[in-house]
Amino acid sequence: MDLEYQLIIPEFVMAGLAVVIIAAALAFRNVDQKWFGYATAIGLAIIAVITAVAYWDTNDDFGGVLAVDHFTVLFRVFFLGIAFFTVMAAVQFAGERLKNHAEFYGLIVFATLGMMLLAASRELLTAYLSLELLSFSFYILVGFNKLNPFSNEGSLKYMLLGAFSSALMLYGISLIYGVTGSTTYSAIGPDVVEGTRSIAGQLASFAGGSGGVDPDGARPGLLIGLVLITAGLGFKVSAVPFHQWTPDAYQGAPLPITAFLSAGGKAAAFAFFLRLFSEAFLPAAAEWVWFVGILAAVTMIVGNLMALQQTNFKRLMAYSSISQVGYLLVGIVALDAANITQSQDAASALVLHLIGYVTTNIAVFAAIIAFYNRTGRDDIVDLRGLAERQPFLAFAIAAALFSLAGMPLFAGFATKFIIFQAAFNNGFLWLGAIGVTASFVSLYYYLMVIKQMYLYEPEGSDRARFHVSRPLAGALVVLVAGVLFIGLYPTPLFDVIHSSTAGLFEQAAAISAAAVGN
Amino acid sequence: MDAGEALLLLLLIPGAAMLLTILVPSRHANVVRWIALIATTATLIDSIWIFAVYDFAEGGYQFTLQYPWIENIGFLGENGISLHLAVDGIAAPMVLLNGLVGFAGVLVSWKITHRVKDFFILFMALFTGVYGVYIGQDLFFWFFAYELAVLPMYLLIVVWGSTNKEYGAMKLTMVLVGGSVLIFIGIFAVFAEAGAGTFDMAVLRDIEFDRGFANTFFPFFMIGCGILAGLFPFHTWSPDGHVAAPTAVSMLHAGVLMKLGAFGIIRLGMEILPAGTDFWMPVLLVLGGVAAVYGAISAINQTDLKFVIGYSSVSHMGFVLMGLGTMNNIGVNGAVLQMFSHGVMTALFFAMVGGLYDQAHTRDIRVFGGLVRKMPLFVIFFGIAGLTSLGLPGLSGFVAEFHIFVGTIDTFPLFAALGILSAALTAIYVLRLMGRAALGPFNPRWENLKELSRWEIAAAIVLIAPIIAMGVWPDPFIDRIAPTVAELPKIDQIGGLFTLSSLTGR
């Protein structure tokens, strides 16, 4: 096999960057710690630009396990962007409240590397290893504030449940391997199609019944494997009922890591989810679409209802991100084995909503980090009077929260419109209706936050106006502008996304063409 | 007539004013006010021009303008989502209405001193959103504008409002956004069912939807939009919201925002899903009739001036829904006329109440008396609004309600009687209010009241002019509305192309 190493140069460079940052800390002990942050950010930005320019037209794969196509490149740049903004937002925070800065930034880079590999993976074990690289980095990062008991608790909870979910996923992978005889997506795809049959047939074969059921077609192993992999992924993206770790991990983690976890961690898991389910499992859609649909519905409902009762902003954002996962899962449900065009629409809609959500979420967290830098508090009532003290931060938070609620002018409106339409087009009327209703409920708790900022006067001993540090303010301006841009004119972004998702369905298109030919 | 740029200006001018206001430092309150005044003056002139130039002999949609936004990608085909603007004979008076009320709203907001900049930014967002609904021809942007018109209300009420404002604001926002959930679902369903790959209303209007589909999804539009129009029994947000809102916001809200609901029923319901009207329009008529009577009875019992007007809005919007429910040309004509008439009238009401409240700091009817001694102009203006409300001939309310009752008699005589009864109830609360507060024995507590400010007087004159104009010479309105209404699908024609002059000439 001919391995073309030039395809994965960005990944090598990322690993190098992480090592260099950590090693540099040993060499330069007297340098102001913030320069490690800025060096990391500059490194990430350079890699992002070079990756975008050099690889955009590539459509190749590395030994059949890592695809380097539009989709990969889009997500590489996307993850690098997430890491860049996280680091920019984190510099002041880390300088004032954390120790061991170089390791902090180095682990962020390692996590980003895991994300990049995950989006590119076309083989189950490679994907699993990438996911573990990502997860291990996060386990450490969540517990990085080691003197804070909440941070330790969050990290421990996250690690135990994460290990459990990894085991589930591995078991699922082994079952899939047992049924199809392969772990590469390209080999699984054509093979699962033969196992495809109705749920009723599956259940009948479970019951051992033979009444009219073709025993050759019955492959319960496939169904169990799919369920286990979905459950494992459900833990990683924190879909209900696998979400229990999320609020604790979000609350315990240092704020920039909460931002990174809610943005990067989710985005990477969904990139994996999407590639896996569209390249490998799409022909078997009839078998998984129902339980993913239920997962999406439950996630939207529970996430939003739990968010209603939160008093801590980070916990609120944890439940809000859970509900966003529900909307994203709608995109997976809208994949349709019989209709490749519809599937690609759904995939594009999912990625568009993902990018809109991530941009918005980082904006919220960047603003909250700026607030926390000044006050050291993160309860919702602490935001009282923010509109008087720092109007720009209040505006940024309000804009981002309105965007999460799916209100016009902001990203959430356009992206939710498109993702729910994809579900409706595929006949999932009930799911789209639940989604719209759930996002209506979400408006209430976002408004409760906005009310604190705009309605009340500042309270407590510290009521003065304050300034936000320049790099953070700059990053925040860019993010809010991005939220508005996606909301008002998503067309260019949507075009790019749509061209990148086409590659995901080449194989499914070939399979269905072959089926028609027969 | 093809000058769609005039419509684009309606969105660009307030949009630009909003951006400009963001850039002005907040200490320059007067600069902010003048920007708002200049912008609303410009849109008012533009609106008047559009109303005047709309060619009613030709009818149909005019000033068409279409820019593609997202097309030929994924499930979106040709003109999938486009910025498509146009006005017909129903939208033209509504555009004029928004221009008038927005302009008057800025005038009465001159006295706001708390966070002036933020106020006008949100005000302009609301104002733009309302225009977008009236002139939008693409479901995506229509809904975008609809939400944009509702969203700023929350902050406008919660920051600048009064009387139980947190409750009122949250209730209003949640109920209205809840309604828009239904519209959202309806839009998705229509798009998926049509399979035309476009959200363009012009295309969707030409598609004949299956009767069962239309019957299923018509109520999504009817109730979803109806909530904003104060549809019984979802009307309770309206009085609470009006009472809590600051003056200019009450004006815009009762004046134009509630009309968005009725307008939405025409645009989405009657035009896109006409097959559903047979089954659902009688329901709308009944609910409208109930709201008319119920609103009037509730208004009689109120002691807070704004509650009186809030419930009277519910009652008058009930007339609008009744008129739509008749599904004949005269009734629907009347509904559109009533939308305009009630819009300017209720804006005038709220402007006057705001002027009084800012000095008196109470709106309790029982403590006022003999205000005419201190505020004669206030009493005159308030009286004009009141008389319009009870349907005095010569003022706009009469023309509109007359059409509605004639239309209803033709279809549901019983409900016409109910409507006329509620018009009579209106007379009770309006005249009682006038008698108690404006005339009556003077209460010495109000020795220090001053006359309205010149800004308020200017606003009142701007609003009274169309009331009288429509009252004595309704033809310019009817000429535009009637042919468009006659073109709506499934409209019964009674009495030919009905105009008031044709009736009197017979």
Average pLDDT rounded to a whole number, residues A81-93: 92
Chain A residues whose beta carbon lies within 8 Å of the beta carbon of residue B174: 440, 443-444
CA-based nearest residue in chain A for residue B189: A424
**pLDDT for the residue numbered B336:** 92
**pLDDT for the residue numbered A425:** 85
Instruction: Mutate one of B22, B115, B121, B155 to test the A interface: name it (highest A CB count within 10 A).
Output: B155
Is the reported ipTM for this assembly greater than 0.90? no
B72 dihedral zone (left: phi>0; alpha: psi -120 to 50; beta): left
Average pLDDT rounded to a whole number, residues B231-246: 85
Distance from CA of A24 to the nearest CA of B (A): 44
Distance from CA of A392 to the nearest CA of B (A): 11
**pLDDT for the residue numbered A193:** 64
- Does the pLDDT at position A204 exceed 60? no
Distance from CA of B228 to the nearest CA of A (A): 16
Chain A residues whose beta carbon lies within 8 Å of the beta carbon of residue B18: none
In chain A, what percentage of residues exceed pLDDT 70? 94
**pLDDT for the residue numbered B1:** 47
- Does the pLDDT at position A31 exceed 90? no
Asked if B73 lies within 8 A of A436 by C-beta distance, the reply is no
CA B375 – CA B63 distance, rounded (Å): 44
Question: B458: Cβ–Cβ under 8 A, 6 or more apart, which residues?
Answer: B107
Give the residue from B478, B485, B400, B396 showing the smallest Cα distance to B88: B485
Of B75, B185, B191, the CB nearest to A433: B185
Confidence of residue B37 (pLDDT cuts 50, 70, 90): very high
**pLDDT for the residue numbered A401:** 94
- Does the pLDDT at position A201 exceed 70? no
**pLDDT for the residue numbered A63:** 82
Question: B496: Cβ–Cβ under 8 A, 6 or more apart, which residues?
Answer: B502
Distance from CA of A406 to the nearest CA of B (A): 10
Domain borders along chain B are 5-499
Asked if A444 lies within 8 A of B170 by C-beta distance, the reply is yes
Confidence of residue A209 (pLDDT cuts 50, 70, 90): very low
**pLDDT for the residue numbered A390:** 87
Give the residue from B451, B459, B454, B342 showing the smallest Cα distance to B105: B459
Chains A and B form CB pairs within 8 A to the count of 86
Of A402, A455, A491, the CB nearest to B69: A491
**pLDDT for the residue numbered A213:** 41
Domain that holds residue A125: 5-517
Confirm or reject contact between A125 and chain B (CB < 8 A): no
Give kind and range of the element (H or E) at residue B74. Answer: none
Burial of residue B364 (CB within 10 Å: 0-12, 13-18, 19+) is: exposed
- Does the pLDDT at position A148 exceed 80? yes
Q: Is B200 helix (H, G, I), strand (E, B) or coil?
A: strand
Of B173, B180, B189, the CB nearest to A429: B189
- Chain position carrying tokens 């018509």: B218
Asked if B177 lies within 8 A of A408 by C-beta distance, the reply is no
Find the chain B residues whose C-beta atoms sit closer than 8 A to any C-beta of A. Answer: 26, 69-70, 73-75, 118, 125, 129, 140, 143-145, 147-148, 151, 154-155, 158-159, 166, 170, 173-174, 177-178, 180-181, 184-185, 188-189, 191-192
DSSP code at position A278: I
- Does the pLDDT at position A325 exceed 90? yes
Of B177, B178, B188, the CB nearest to A421: B188
CA B35 – CA B45 distance, rounded (Å): 15
Distance from CA of A213 to the nearest CA of B (A): 35
Chain A residues whose beta carbon lies within 8 Å of the beta carbon of residue B192: 421, 424-425, 427
Confirm or reject contact between A501 and chain B (CB < 8 A): no
Asked if B74 lies within 8 A of A349 by C-beta distance, the reply is yes
Of A413, A425, A432, the CB nearest to B144: A413
**pLDDT for the residue numbered B235:** 85
- Does the pLDDT at position B15 exceed 70? yes
Instruction: Mutate one of B27, B71, B75 to test the A interface: name it (highest A CB count within 10 A).
Output: B75
pLDDT tens digits for B375-397? 888 888 988 998 888 888 888 88
Confidence of residue B356 (pLDDT cuts 50, 70, 90): confident
In this structure, which amino acid lies at residue B486? A
Of B143, B155, B181, the CB nearest to A454: B155
Confirm or reject contact between A348 and chain B (CB < 8 A): yes
Of B26, B151, B178, the CB nearest to A407: B151
- Does the pLDDT at position A98 exceed 80? yes
pLDDT tens digits for A369-381? 999 988 888 888 8
Confirm or reject contact between A505 and chain B (CB < 8 A): no
Give the residue from A297, A268, A177, A296 showing the smallest Cα distance to A226: A177
**pLDDT for the residue numbered A14:** 93
Of B74, B159, B188, the CB nearest to A455: B159
Phi, psi (deg, nearest 5) at residue A378: -145, 25
**pLDDT for the residue numbered A210:** 45
**pLDDT for the residue numbered A205:** 55
Confidence of residue A357 (pLDDT cuts 50, 70, 90): very high
Distance from CA of B88 to the nearest CA of A (A): 25
Give kind and range of the element (H or E) at residue A191. Answer: helix A185-195
Chain A residues whose beta carbon lies within 8 Å of the beta carbon of residue B219: none
The pLDDT mean for chain A works out to 87
pLDDT tens digits for A103-130? 899 999 999 999 999 999 999 999 999 9
Confidence of residue A259 (pLDDT cuts 50, 70, 90): very high
Chain B residues whose beta carbon lies within 8 Å of the beta carbon of residue A441: none
Instruction: Mutate one of B117, B182, B184 to test the A interface: name it (highest A CB count within 10 A).
Output: B184
pLDDT tens digits for A431-457? 989 999 998 889 999 988 998 888 888
- Does the pLDDT at position B498 exceed 70? no
Asked if B184 lies within 8 A of A489 by C-beta distance, the reply is no
Confirm or reject contact between A409 and chain B (CB < 8 A): yes
Per-residue exposure over A323-352, b if at least 16 CB sit within 10 Å of its own CB, e if not: bbbbbbbbbbbbbbbeebebbbbbbbbbbb
Average pLDDT rounded to a whole number, residues A420-436: 88
Distance from CA of A440 to the nearest CA of B (A): 6
Q: How many domains does chain A have?
A: 1
Of A341, A424, A440, the CB nearest to B178: A440
Average pLDDT rounded to a whole number, residues A21-48: 88
Confidence of residue B503 (pLDDT cuts 50, 70, 90): low
Pairing state of beta strands B81-87 and B62-70?
antiparallel
Confidence of residue B501 (pLDDT cuts 50, 70, 90): low
CA A347 – CA B142 distance, rounded (Å): 26
Asked if B154 lies within 8 A of A413 by C-beta distance, the reply is no
Asked if B173 lies within 8 A of A443 by C-beta distance, the reply is yes
- Does the pLDDT at position A400 exceed 70? yes
**pLDDT for the residue numbered A15:** 93
Chain A residues whose beta carbon lies within 8 Å of the beta carbon of residue B140: 417
Chain A residues whose beta carbon lies within 8 Å of the beta carbon of residue B74: 341, 344-345, 348-349, 418, 422, 494, 498
Of A341, A402, A454, the CB nearest to B159: A454
Of B74, B143, B181, the CB nearest to A440: B181
Beta strands in B78-168 (DSSP E): 81-87
Asked if B189 lies within 8 A of A451 by C-beta distance, the reply is no
CA-based nearest residue in chain B for residue A448: B170
In this structure, which amino acid lies at residue A357? Y
Alpha carbons within 13 angstroms on the beta-carbon side of residue A467 total 4
- Does the pLDDT at position A408 exceed 50? yes
pLDDT tens digits for B312-345? 889 999 999 998 888 888 888 899 999 999 999 9
- Does the pLDDT at position A215 exceed 60? no
Confidence of residue B256 (pLDDT cuts 50, 70, 90): confident
Asked if B147 lies within 8 A of A408 by C-beta distance, the reply is yes
**pLDDT for the residue numbered B506:** 39
- Does the pLDDT at position B113 exceed 50? yes
Confidence of residue B504 (pLDDT cuts 50, 70, 90): low
- Does the pLDDT at position A416 exceed 80? yes
Confidence of residue A29 (pLDDT cuts 50, 70, 90): confident
**pLDDT for the residue numbered A134:** 93
In this structure, which amino acid lies at residue A330? V
**pLDDT for the residue numbered A214:** 47
Instruction: Select, from the ranges A303-307, A386-390, B435-439, the one with the highest average predicted confidence (pLDDT).
Output: A303-307
Lowest mean pLDDT among A217-221, B272-276, B305-309: A217-221
Lowest mean pLDDT among A83-87, A457-461, B115-119, B273-277: A457-461
**pLDDT for the residue numbered A135:** 93
Of B125, B145, B158, the CB nearest to A454: B158
Confirm or reject contact between A498 and chain B (CB < 8 A): yes
Asked if B191 lies within 8 A of A424 by C-beta distance, the reply is yes
CA-based nearest residue in chain B for residue A344: B74
Chain A residues whose beta carbon lies within 8 Å of the beta carbon of residue B144: 408, 413
